[in-house]
Amino acid sequence: MDTADLYQGPLGDFVARRTALVHELRRADPEAAEAIGKLRKPAVSVWAIDQLAVGNASVLSALLAAGADARDAQRSVAAGTESRDGFALATGRLRDAVEAAARAAMDTLIQAGHPPGGETDRRIRTTLQAAATGGAADRHALWTGTLDHDLDVAGFGDASESEEDVLELAAVLAPLRRQTASASPGRAEAQRPSSRELVAQRAAERDVTKKDEAAEAARAFAVAARHQADRLAEEAGVAAEKAVVAEQAADDAEAAAHAAHAKLTR
């Protein structure tokens, strides 16, 4: 059930839009209508965060990537594969990302005529960090703009947490993630392709593309040739039938001519 449109709209119209959606779904999907009817109107701090999914998706992506890196850094420190300096860098990046997202959310409040205050500012920052470092459900709600309540920070979650982001979100965050410290520099360097390998790979990709295009062109020509052959065969069949009819008419005409000659010579 996609509720993004409900949360990403004017805060003052939330109840009216929720009621309209319930009425719309009541006959077709009574269970969904009942569930939507129970959705609560978000606090102004949460509403401001939800609006970021519409106009500031890149800010949320950077925040979620920083949160994922901070969680990984904490687990790596606990496992002894990363120094506390690396964890400090990750948490510093997270603080910067929280601040950037908080500024964007407060700008949204100002533009909507809801001047932020001290408590609202604090709740925005706390909820942003809690969602970015919390469970998969909170991370997904932050990304889709469907948070419905303030969150409280509780560290970086369970160090053994295995909840993975949905594939679409993971794909968005992957290029924004840092190289994890759990992989040694030598191993990371060994896995990184050389310039020569990249050139060869790109050349191979271009070759594959050209071959695909040539194959598509050949197939298109073959299909056109087959259509032409079928058309000519059909036309030849019709012409053959006409020839048979013409030959029969000629035979009849010749027989009639011979008969006329015979009568004339009697």
DSSP helix/strand/coil, 255: helix
Dihedral-angle region of residue 39 (phi above 0 means left; psi in -120 to 50 means alpha; beta otherwise): beta
At 71-85, the pLDDT tens digits run 888 888 888 877 788
pLDDT value for 61: 94
- Angle at 102 (CA atoms; ends 99, 104), nearest 5 degrees: 115
Q: Give the whole-number percent of the chain exceeding pLDDT 70.
A: 84
Query: For 38-66, what is the mean pLDDT?
Result: 93
DSSP helix/strand/coil, 150: coil
* CB 116, CB 109: distance < 8 Å: yes
At 136-172, the pLDDT tens digits run 999 999 999 999 999 997 665 544 455 788 888 888 8
User: In this predicted model, which residue has the larger pLDDT, 187 or 240?
Assistant: 240
pLDDT value for 100: 95
Closest CA to 94 of 68, 120, 72: 68
At 191-232, the pLDDT tens digits run 445 555 555 666 676 677 777 777 777 777 777 778 788 888
Closest CA to 106 of 149, 51, 147: 51
